[in-house]
């Protein structure tokens, strides 16, 4: 069975907490349970909207082949549903809506990443669950945040049916812009040439002249191809200034030393070069987070040690966590992160295809699908990642294709008042290392600004009209 705490969390996630609109100083203080999730006849009478359980959470179904949806999926109000029947009906002489589409189980399946727990045999060479193996990709809705679509449909039912008016419910309209924008940058390759090892690499392996090799290894920071920080941080800050205060956040994710060959190049977090990089980050008021190593992805308990190493290096805890190459996907990874003190994670995107891995563009509290327990760790959906768009091992898009797909996803997040998280690496934001990623990134930032400006102008216009 589904714990009452998770059931209420999922209902609130879909429609938001609902309050009776009253007058005076105590306005909106009384909460009203408008949506229920039950098939008990007596309990059903308590709610104006009832979602019928499909049996997904029954002990005889959960964790068995019967719990995995079969394709093709049916649609309810134009939205794919994973469980239940695509229909609704009125009862109680037109006083109650009964929804046979199991929106709670469908939402849980996506938000908890149930399928990644169930399909543990589906992993790539880095231990990641491939996006192309996901139900959302195979069913063709990965580009849609269908959990948010469920929520909007439920809110529409409450409004159009007259239920909201009958019970005097406050259901505020959500703005068609971003609730938050997270501009994140992983320092997997913080520099290209620094120090004697890079001098030897440039000279002996790459065939550059000794003089050129010396200049690259020991010259000015701006000589390094990967030193793009002043440039892209200027763009990030410009967006931050144009959007409302508190909406835009800049993040640097820094990796601690590791013994894994997958974590090369190794770099010292307190080196003189890193101090200069972090000086740039400090000027931009960027949050510093931990980039969990590939070793920590293989051995979940190691993330606690890496958090301590971060604290020793920078005398403060990391703001948040992201695993290298998006390689974490097991519930055990997130439980260890939680036990180690993390409360925010930015890993939740697929490495091989962009879209809505969690089925939503809003932050989600991690639900452990093994134990069906709600935790205090918040998962922030990663919507777009540079390498996922361009890498031949992933989507392998050209500039035009990448811009079209990225633009559509950005507009979708705004449509649902969601949280937009982008991941662009510093070493790909140079046209010396990649022909179009810096151009695409700059274009997306301009689009974000334009979308927010249009939404603000529309809201101001609506406010002016309503005042007459």
Residue spans of the domains in the chain: they are: 4-170, 180-191+226-466
Helices 146-160 and 103-111, interaxial angle, to 10°?
Answer: 150
Q: Using CB atoms within 10 Å of the CB of residue 271, give its burial: 0 to 12 exposed, 13 to 18 middle, 19+ buried.
A: middle
Identify the CA nearest to 395 among candidates 353, 452, 348.
353
- Given a cut of 60, whether residue 25 has pLDDT beyond it is no
- Given a cut of 60, whether residue 286 has pLDDT beyond it is yes
- Write out pLDDT tens, residues 134-171: 999 999 999 999 999 999 999 999 999 999 999 999 89
What is the spatial distance between Cα 203 and Cα 307, in angstroms, rounded to a whole number?
Answer: 36
Question: Per-residue confidence at 461, pLDDT binned at 50, 70, 90?
Answer: confident
What's the token pair of residue 75? 């649609």
What pLDDT is attached to residue 41? 92
DSSP state of 287: E
What is the spatial distance between Cα 342 and Cα 311, in angstroms, rounded to a whole number?
Answer: 13
Phi, psi of 74 (to 5 degrees): -90, 165
Question: Which string of DSSP letters, residue by residue, matches 131-173?
Answer: GGGSHHHHHT-TTS-HHHHHHHHHHHHHHHTSHHHHTTEE-PP
Least confident of 166-175, 204-213, 337-346: 204-213
Least confident of 78-82, 204-208, 296-300, 434-438: 204-208
Cβ atoms 412, 404 nearer than 8 A: no
- Given a cut of 60, whether residue 465 has pLDDT beyond it is no
Q: Which residues contact 362 (CB under 8 A, 6 or more apart)?
A: 13, 148, 179, 381, 416, 418, 419
Top mean pLDDT of 207-216, 290-299, 354-363 is at 354-363
What's the token pair of residue 315? 């005398």
Q: Pick the residue with more confidence: 89 or 199?
A: 89
- Write out pLDDT tens, residues 239-256: 999 999 999 999 999 999
Question: Per-residue confidence at 266, pLDDT binned at 50, 70, 90?
Answer: confident
Helix residue ranges per DSSP H, 299-367: 303-314, 331-339
Q: What length does the chain have? A: 468
Strand residue runs (E) in 300-443:
321-323, 344-345, 364-368, 373-379, 384-385, 419-423
Q: Pick the residue with more confidence: 202 or 330?
A: 330
What is the spatial distance between Cα 111 and Cα 447, in angstroms, rounded to a whole number?
Answer: 28
What's the average model confidence in pLDDT over 175-200? Answer: 86
What pLDDT is attached to residue 198? 63
Q: Which residues contact 459 (CB under 8 A, 6 or more apart)?
A: 175
What pLDDT is attached to residue 442? 98
What's the average model confidence in pLDDT over 267-273? Answer: 89
What pLDDT is attached to residue 23? 63
Cβ atoms 145, 385 nearer than 8 A: no
pTM for the predicted model, two decimal places: 0.94
Least confident of 58-62, 101-105, 464-468: 464-468
Q: Using CB atoms within 10 Å of the CB of residue 59, give its burial: 0 to 12 exposed, 13 to 18 middle, 19+ buried.
A: exposed
Q: Pick the residue with more confidence: 451 or 267?
A: 451
Query: Would you identify the CATH topology of the domain 180-191+226-466?
Result: TIM Barrel (3.20.20)
Q: Pick the residue with more confidence: 330 or 395?
A: 395
Q: Pick the residue with more confidence: 111 or 94?
A: 111
Instruction: Return the SS3 of 225.
Output: coil
- Write out pLDDT tens, residues 434-450: 999 999 999 999 999 99
């Amino acid at each position: 069975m589904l714990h009452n705490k998770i059931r209420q969390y999922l209902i609130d996630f879909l429609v938001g907490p609902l309050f009776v609109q009253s007058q005076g100083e105590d306005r909106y203080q009384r909460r009203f349970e408008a949506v229920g999730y039950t098939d008990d006849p007596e309990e059903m009478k308590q709610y104006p909207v009832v979602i019928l359980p499909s049996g997904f959470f029954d002990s005889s179904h959960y964790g068995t082949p019967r719990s995995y949806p079969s394709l093709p999926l049916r649609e309810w109000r134009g939205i794919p549903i994973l469980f239940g029947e695509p229909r609704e009906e009125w009862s109680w002489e037109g006083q109650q809506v009964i929804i046979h589409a199991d929106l709670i189980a469908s939402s849980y399946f996506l938000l908890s990443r149930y399928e990644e727990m169930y399909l543990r045999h589906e992993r790539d060479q880095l231990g990641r669950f491939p996006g192309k193996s996901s139900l959302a990709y195979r069913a063709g809705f990965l580009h849609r945040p269908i959990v948010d679509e469920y929520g909007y449909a439920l809110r529409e039912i409450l409004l159009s049916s007259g239920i909201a008016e009958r019970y005097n419910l406050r259901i505020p309209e959500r703005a068609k812009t971003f609730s938050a924008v997270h501009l994140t940058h992983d320092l997997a390759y913080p520099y290209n040439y620094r120090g004697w090892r890079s001098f030897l690499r440039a000279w002996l392996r790459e065939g550059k002249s000794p003089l050129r090799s010396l200049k690259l290894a020991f010259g000015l920071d701006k000589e390094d191809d990967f030193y793009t920080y002043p440039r892209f941080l200027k763009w990030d800050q410009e967006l931050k200034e144009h959007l409302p205060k508190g909406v835009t956040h800049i993040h640097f994710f820094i990796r601690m030393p590791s013994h894994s060959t997958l974590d090369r190049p190794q770099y010292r977090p307190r080196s003189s070069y890193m101090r200069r990089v972090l000086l740039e980050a400090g000027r931009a008021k960027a949050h510093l987070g931990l980039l969990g190593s590939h070793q920590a992805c293989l051995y979940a308990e190691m993330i606690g040690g890496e958090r301590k190493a971060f604290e020793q290096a920078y005398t403060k805890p990391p703001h948040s966590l992201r695993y290298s190459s998006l390689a974490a996907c097991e519930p055990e990874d997130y439980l260890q992160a939680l036990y180690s003190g993390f409360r925010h994670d930015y890993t939740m995107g697929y490495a091989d295809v962009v879209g809505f891995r969690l089925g939503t563009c809003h932050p989600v509290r991690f639900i452990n699908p093994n134990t069906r327990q709600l935790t205090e760790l918040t998962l922030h959906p990663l919507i777009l990642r540079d390498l996922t768009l361009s890498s031949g091992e992933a989507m392998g898009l050209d500039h035009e294709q990448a811009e079209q797909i990225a633009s559509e996803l950005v507009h979708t997040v705004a449509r649902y008042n969601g949280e937009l998280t982008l991941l662009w690496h510093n070493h790909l934001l140079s046209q010396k290392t990649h022909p179009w990623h810096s151009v695409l990134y700059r274009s997306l930032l301009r689009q974000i600004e334009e979308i927010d400006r249009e939404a603000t102008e529309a809201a101001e216009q609506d406010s002016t009209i309503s005042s007459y």
